[in-house]
Amino acid sequence: MNAPARIAPRAQVQARIAVLGVGTVGRAFLQRWRTLHGEGLVHVANSRGAFAPEDAGTAEARCRERFGSLEDGFAAAEHALGEAGMRIVVDATASEAVAARHAHWLARGIHVVTACKLGQGAELARWRAIRAACAASGACYGDAATVGAGLPLLRTLRALRAGGDRIHAIAGVLSGSLAWLFDRFDGLRPFSRFVREARAAGYTEPDPRDDLSGEDVRRKLLILARTAGVELESADVDVESLVSPALAALPAAAVDGALDALDAPLRARFAEAYRNGERLRFVARLEQGRARVGLASLPADDPLAGGAGTDNRVAIWCDRYRERPLVIQGPGAGAEVTAAALLDDVRAILCEAGQWKASSSSSSSAGRTRCSPG
């Protein structure tokens, strides 16, 4: 007879949690939180208003308060969190304004868990402000979801450095959408066709220039570099955009009709790589303090040449992995894996505070968060 299934005990949460963003990632996080019977949601909002926490992110969601401005929204979140105790902001937005608020919350002792790259992947001053706020208040900054949708990239870099290793180089395929495009592109069918397919499947942003420009990859490389101890400014990263100046200048409504301009130059790049027995990949690379993002032609046995679909693939060279790099690979995009990474970081914060009763099916080790990033 089969043993009865073990049911994880109800999470013991006295924290007050505010979730900002109810798009695909925010909704997936809320669903996971409710599945684990997590209590403590006191505020759920997007840029327009706040929702009743008990049904936020569902078809029955009710807006209970409209915001006149972003400042009104921030004030509502901070009022709901209160002035003391265990307080956590979960940032499931892609908002510059919300990211600019991270250091403020941390300085007030409010933990921040985020999928937004604009906190640590923007100007260096903001990254330093986040570090300083964590150090001063003891608040944690959960950032596992910002690069690789929760793959153990930042955690691994921190563990290597904590063990005395120096990071010599990092190279990676860091964009799920660009990974998918160059995995599918065969030089026979137009590249623009694959871009349209990727957009229809939800792999790219509605305006695919956001993916093709390489700016998202730049931010991810900045986060990796800074975590590895290399404090680069955004301008220090050389970015080869796939978007021509003419395509970049078009209004969003005209982009689809102009995507064919991508075809000839990328067909030529593919043909050259094919003649050399190589594969095209959009690669971010950090070595000897220099950082570059762009299209690369890689030998078939290169650690970044493999992978499939939207997989991210990152190679790390350090003192203990000098000749053969440590390679980390897995799904690097998608609402579910990103939401799971957010939840892991929230659970890690709660476990450290003794406010989450872990079970064999709910371990706190996977999403360990550092209270001082970098």
**Which of these is catalytic: 218, 220, 226, 281?**
220
Alpha helices in 188-305 (DSSP H): 191-200, 209-212, 215-227, 245-248, 255-258, 263-275
What pLDDT, on a 0 to 100 scale, did the predictor assign at position 65?
A: 85
pLDDT at position 363 is 41
pLDDT of residue 368: 44
Q: Is 25 annotated as a binding residue?
A: yes
Domains detected in the chain: 16-151+334-352 (3.40.50.720), 153-331 (3.30.360.10)
The H-assigned helical ranges of the chain are 24-35, 70-81, 96-99, 102-107, 124-137, 153-162, 176-184, 191-200, 209-212, 215-227, 245-248, 255-258, 263-275, 335-352
Judge whether 357 counts as a catalytic residue.
no
Residue 202, annotated as binding a ligand? no
Q: Binding residue per annotation — 357?
A: no
Q: 205: annotated binding-site residue?
A: yes
Q: What is the pLDDT of residue 355?
A: 66
Q: Is residue 8 classed as helix, strand or coil in its secondary structure?
A: coil
**Residue 13 pLDDT:** 58
Contact 164, 319 (CB under 8 A): yes
Q: Provide the pLDDT for residue 163.
A: 97
Distance between CA atoms of residues 206 and 210, nearest Å: 8
Distance CA(226)–CA(220), nearest Å, equals 10
Identify the pLDDT of residue 365: 41
d(CA 36, CA 22): 19
* DSSP secondary structure code for residue 362 in this structure: B
What is the value of pTM for the model shown?
0.90
Phi and psi for 316 in degrees, rounded to 5?
-125, 125
Alpha-carbon distance values, 65 to 72, 90, 291, 304 (Å): 10, 19, 45, 48
Neighbours of 9 (CB within 10 A): 12
Query: Which stretches of 228-329 are DSSP H helices?
Result: 245-248, 255-258, 263-275
List, in sequence order, every residue forming a beta bridge with 44; answer none if it has no partner: 19, 51
Write down the pLDDT at residue 218.
98
Q: Is 93 labelled a binding residue?
A: yes
pLDDT along the chain (374 residues), means of 10: 44 82 94 86 92 77 83 94 95 97 98 97 98 97 96 97 98 97 96 96 90 97 98 98 97 96 98 97 97 97 90 97 96 90 95 65 43 50
Does 374 appear as a known binding residue? no
Token pair of 369, please?
């968060």
Q: Is 195 annotated as a binding residue?
A: no
- The verdict on whether residue 330 carries a ligand-binding annotation is no
Is residue 229 marked as binding? Answer: no
Asked if residues 6 and 360 have their Cβ atoms less than 8 Å apart, the reply is: yes
Rounded distance between C-alpha atoms, residue 242 and residue 261, angstroms: 10
